[in-house]
Structure formats: C-alpha cells, structure tokens
Amino acid sequence: MNLLLDEVARATARLADAGAASPRADAEELAAAVHGVKRSELHTVPDAAFDARYWEGVARREAGEPLQHITGRAFFRYLELRVGPGVFVPRPETEVMVGWALDTLRDMDVRDPLVVDLGTGSGAIALSIAQEAPRARVHAVEKDPKAFVHANRNVEALDERGRVRLHLADLSDALSELDGTVDLVVSNPPYIPMTEWEYVPADVRDHDPAAALWGGGDDGLDAVRAVEQTARRLLRPGGYVAVEHSDLQGNAVYWVFAEEHGWRDVRNRRDLTNRDRFVTARLTLD
C-alpha cells in the first residue's frame, strides 16, 4: 500500500469527523497540492517523498479554513486560479452562468464582442470568457484592492492573448466611456442579506470577504440593483445581462429587471442542482 494513500485515508476520516462536506476530495486535493501532483497521480508519490506538511493543511481544514485558502488555488471551468484571503472563492454554480454567457455570445455572432464583468473578484468569469470566446474583449471591474491584487495576478498568469482589462472601480459608476456599446454584462455580485448571517456556512462567512457576500438592503439586493442600472447604461440596444443570485431570490431579481426600464426576455435560469441561480435579460431594441 502506498504511504500517501494511507495518510489520505486517515485524513479523510478526520475531516469527516470535523464535518467537512467533501472530506475525501478535500484530503486528496490537499495531498496533491502539497506534493505537486494531480489528484489522479497521488499513487505515484513514493513513500520517501511524503511531506509531513500535509498534516498542517489537514489541521487547518479541520479548523474550518477553506480548502482553497490552504492550497492557494481554485478550479473554475478550465482555469486554475490563484486565490487566498481577501478574495471570494469562485463556486461551481457560477460556471453555469458563464456557460450561458458563452452560448449567448456565439448566438450574437458579433465579430469582436465587448463584455463587462462587474465585481470580478478573482477574475474567474472574465478569464473564462476570454479563454473560451477568444475574440471577446473583456473589461473586469473590481472595487476591493485586496481582491484586485488576486485578479491582477490571475490575469497576468492566464490571459495569454491580452483580452482582459482590469479596472479598480466601483461597479455602480465604472466604465462610462463604454456606455451604449457593450454586448454582454455578467455579474456575480454580493447578494446575501444580513438577516441570513447565521445560516451562512462558517467557512464562508468567516473567510470570504464581507464585501463579496452581503448585498445591502433588507433583501440583500442593493448590489443587484446597482448592476441593473450599470448594465442598462453600458449595453447597446439588444445587448444582454446575466446576474447571479441565491436560490431563494429568483423572483425578486426577476422584477429588478423591469419592463419599464427597457428590459425584455427576462428569465430565471437554473444551476446544475435545478435551483434558480441567475437572471438574464435583453435590453430593448426600441
């Protein structure tokens, strides 16, 4: 039996006892990160190469620190992103919204589509669109200086074609020079109301930056309303917007994109668990 696999089995049991949602995956990912291999290659690590620092990572995960903060990396679609304290860790749910955005760009059939990512965080959305829609020009806006540092590192490492431009700015008034010209606006803004604080998992509320979680207002949707206003200003007639929300906010966010504001084709769309996850809308051609 391989020593590392034995230790992974022990770590899995410890993380399960600590209440980790995915103890085996966490134990394997920690082992892969410490030993510089892929999870599928753990069996290739010789016994003599076992690194005892693995147990330091396991202890940190037991204590509730996010896996991605320990390993310093997060996987999103086809990207490996650098993350850590001060930046929101991207979630798989958001990958579905990015998939919709890419399909929409293809259907638009615009030669060099102009895309804006409002509240980019680590840069996950912006970089995925730039990678998978290689002719797209993407402007990514982030207000928080700490998150901006992470986004900048990821853009420098992953944006080989130079298609992403970062802006340290507030999403509510950013990019006025692009007003009326953008094809697609995408955003995963903060949207959790403070009244839900006690229901948010501890490793999220204690480690993800507050500015990326709490959306403002009694319903948590102040940031979503700001995205709606900015998207309305930035988009060309016929352009589209996609905004993520919690699985309980679909109806409320739907009505943020009101017809009297010029929105058409407003739809709630679901994630892989079949829960409402993001709203899309088209700016009227009138």
Catalytic residues: 88, 188-189
201 annotated to bind ligand: no
CB atoms within 10 A of CB 205: 16
Using DSSP's 3-state secondary structure scheme, residue 170 falls into: coil
Q: Is 251 annotated as a binding residue?
A: no
Q: Flag whether 19 is marked binding.
A: no
- Confirm whether residue 122 is marked as ligand binding: yes
The packing angle between helices 53-62 and 3-17, to 10°, is 20
Q: What are phi and psi of 135, to 5 degrees?
A: -95, -5
Q: Flag whether 176 is marked binding.
A: no
Tokens representing 94? 């958001």
Q: How far apart are CA 106 and CA 88, in angstroms?
A: 28
194-201's contacts with Cβ under 8 Å and 24+ in sequence apart are 194/220, 196/220
According to the annotation, is 189 in a ligand binding site? yes
Question: What string of DSSP letters covers 40-108?
Answer: GGGGGS-GGG--THHHHHHHHHHTT--HHHHHSEEEETTEEEE--TTSPPP-HHHHHHHHHHHHHHHHH
Rounded distance, CA 253 to CA 217, Å? 13
Q: State yes or no: 120 annotated in a binding site.
A: yes
Please work out, in degrees rounded to the nearest 5, the angle formed at the alpha carbon of residue 97 by the alpha carbons of 204 and 70: 30
Q: How far apart are CA 161 and CA 134, in angstroms?
A: 8
Q: Which of 132, 159, 157 is closest to 140 using CA atoms?
A: 159
Q: Is 238 annotated as a binding residue?
A: no
CA 275, CA 3: separation in Å to the nearest integer? 41
**Residue stretches of the annotated binding site for substrate:** 188-191
**Residue stretches of the annotated binding site for S-adenosyl-L-methionine:** 119-123, 142, 188
**Residue stretches of the annotated binding site:** 119-123, 142, 188-191
